[in-house]
Amino acid sequence: MHAPGDVRVVERDSPTIIESTDAIIRLSATCICGSDLWPYRGVEAVDDTPMGHEYVGIVEEIGDAVKTLKVGDFVVGSFVISDNTCEICRAGYQSHCVHGTFVSQIGTQSERARIPYADGTLVATPERPDPELIPSLLTASDVLGTGWFAAVAAEARPGNTVAVVGDGAVGLMGVLAAKQLGAERIIAMSRHPDRQALAREFGATDIVEERGDDGAARIKELTDGLGAHSVIEAVGTQESLMQAIRATRPGGHVGYVGVFHEDVTVPGPELFFSGVHLHGGPAPVRRFLPELIDLIWRREIDPGKVFDLVLPLEEVAEGYRAMDERRATKVLLTI
Ligand SMILES: [Zn+2]
């Protein structure tokens, strides 16, 4: 991204193995994330910054210390690099690994990428996937893994009512995850007919179009005045966070995965008296990758439906425009 609103395709040096724990992958597909729109809109600083952090591809080269992968493997990687061996990783919080770095610093809207700590970051599929599985596998790299973590953090489980704030790709994946985790009732908050339809396809039982305090009030109406057991916050604004907290019953859980804007604050007294649990942050996608790959491989879930525009990498600038103008929910880039 040369500057806000200005995405260009340029030649960069081919990546090479630097550390013995590295792998070089040739990407099969990548995509544009809602969070990529922040620098695009000038909310975050950008200056000739490589972009992209979602990726699937084929291992082309490995360092001497890489043990679990071989050249030719098809791999899915998390959007955060992790060693998967430190104490934080072993507790399931690989997105906070002591060796963690964000893949956005590498920039996987590209043909090739160097992935550090390859053993701890990448997971190989059982064999080369059918091309039709690639979009779903790509979602596991971020949006599916993030939606899944949000549902887990919100303690979605059999018998629960789960409300989902946000109808972007992550919110829709949160609906799918809540369904898989056995939630009885799933309330998607959306005012876009096409996204409502996809939410229903992924398992939503109810749609709420109201936003903010009206949205929270509607959730309470639907839950005998109590609020939902579990609320997924997949936007990241002050309004959406408060909507999530106010839609949750005392003792319930908010799983927040929408990256908070800088000015988001949590009012102390309201949090204190709400009695809700708050848990979230950058999702430890690596924790869930083996399970998600298995569900996709067995065709139990089809999260790849979230992509509604496919473009070649050369046309990435049009992909950003389409997402910025909300003409597309999620753009897949072929390579
Ligand atoms: Zn670690």
Residue 262 pLDDT? 85
**Ligand 1 centre distance from Cα of residue 91 (Å):** 9
Res. 294 pLDDT band, cuts 50 70 90: very high
End residue of a domain, out of 280, 307, 325: 280
The total number of structural domains in the chain stands at 2
Share of the chain above pLDDT 90, in %: 98
**Ligand 1 centre distance from Cα of residue 93 (Å):** 8
Range(s) of the domain holding residue 257: 147-280
Spatial contact of 26 and 40, defined as CB atoms under 8 Å apart: no
Spatial contact of 283 and 185, defined as CB atoms under 8 Å apart: no
Residue 44 pLDDT? 86
Give per-residue pLDDT as tens, 137-147: 999 999 999 99
- Considering the domain architecture, whether residues 257 and 308 belong to the same structural domain is answered as no
**Ligand 1 centre distance from Cα of residue 87 (Å):** 6
**Ligand 1 centre distance from Cα of residue 30 (Å):** 25
- Considering the domain architecture, whether residues 162 and 273 belong to the same structural domain is answered as yes
Of the candidates 118, 30, 56, 31, the one whose C-alpha atom is nearest the C-alpha of residue 81 is: 118
Token pair belonging to 67: 């043990």
Give per-residue pLDDT as tens, 157-204: 999 999 999 999 999 999 999 999 999 999 999 999 999 999 999 999
| pLDDT higher than threshold 90 for residue 261 | no
Give per-residue pLDDT as tens, 265-288: 999 999 999 999 999 999 999 999
Residue 265 pLDDT? 96
Q: For residues 65 and 163, what is the distance between their CA atoms, to the nearest angstrom? A: 44
* Helices (H), ranges, the chain: 37-40, 87-90, 118-121, 134-140, 143-153, 169-180, 193-202, 212-222, 238-246, 268-274, 285-297, 316-324
**Ligand 1 centre distance from Cα of residue 119 (Å):** 11
Give residue 182's region: left, alpha or beta (phi > 0; psi -120 to 50): left
Res. 7 pLDDT band, cuts 50 70 90: very high
Instruction: Establish if 12 belongs to a structural domain.
Output: no
- Considering the domain architecture, whether residues 247 and 151 belong to the same structural domain is answered as yes
> For residue 170, what is the domain's CATH number?
3.40.50.720
Residue 43 pLDDT? 86
**Ligand 1 centre distance from Cα of residue 163 (Å):** 32
- pTM comes to 0.96
> For residue 315, what is the domain's CATH number?
3.90.180.10
**Ligand 1 centre distance from Cα of residue 180 (Å):** 28
Q: For residues 107 and 126, what is the distance between their CA atoms, to the nearest angstrom? A: 26
Give per-residue pLDDT as tens, 20-62: 999 999 999 999 999 899 899 998 889 999 999 999 999 999 9
**Ligand 1 centre distance from Cα of residue 169 (Å):** 27
Q: What are phi and psi of 314, to 5 degrees?
A: -60, -25
**Ligand 1 centre distance from Cα of residue 122 (Å):** 13
- Considering the domain architecture, whether residues 53 and 93 belong to the same structural domain is answered as yes
**Ligand 1 centre distance from Cα of residue 197 (Å):** 39
